[in-house]
Structure 1
């Protein structure tokens, strides 16, 4: 089997504690956990595996990608998408699209969209019946 297309992705964040609390909460319903952490960064992935997503403290000059960028996290169920969205709004995220079917993306595409506390657009999605 070939290697996956992406090894990992990281975001720069302005407040590591705030961002880690947010991502701890929103990634838990998707079964992603902290797999490592230090004073400047936190890595997330599946329990017992390496990180696939990391947040890294950027003290100056943080730049959020322009329109057209977003990161979609895979969800195991529609209920997990719902819980992701709820957790995001409770932990400093802003709504960018409530959980629901997105027929323009396909008949089974169920997703929720939020902005994280720094303004990164993120999504949780499941694309099966």
Structure 2
């Protein structure tokens, strides 16, 4: 299933600041930490903690967030289904990048080992 253009536009307009608390609540509810979440975001985007906090303060959209990001070279190894979509089949680059992040957060919440989440093994 491929996201619609309207779906892609909605995702582009979401702010990182509005989604970050939901990511944090999801992982903490499952016993993971803010530090682990931040590590996952840093791995995918190249943003350190200070940069992440600045992006939250600026209330940047996901469009701006991923324009500024330097995606990890192994990001393409992120596969599977998230939110009803198979990540590797999503054609819109921004929607794919957002779903990469969603998938990593989901794996963290499900207790997957950090080495596996960060595609180092």
TM over 0.5: no
Higher strand proportion (structure 1 or 2): 1
Comparing both structures, which one devotes a greater share of its residues to helix?
2
In our comparison, the structure showing a higher alpha carbon Rg is 1
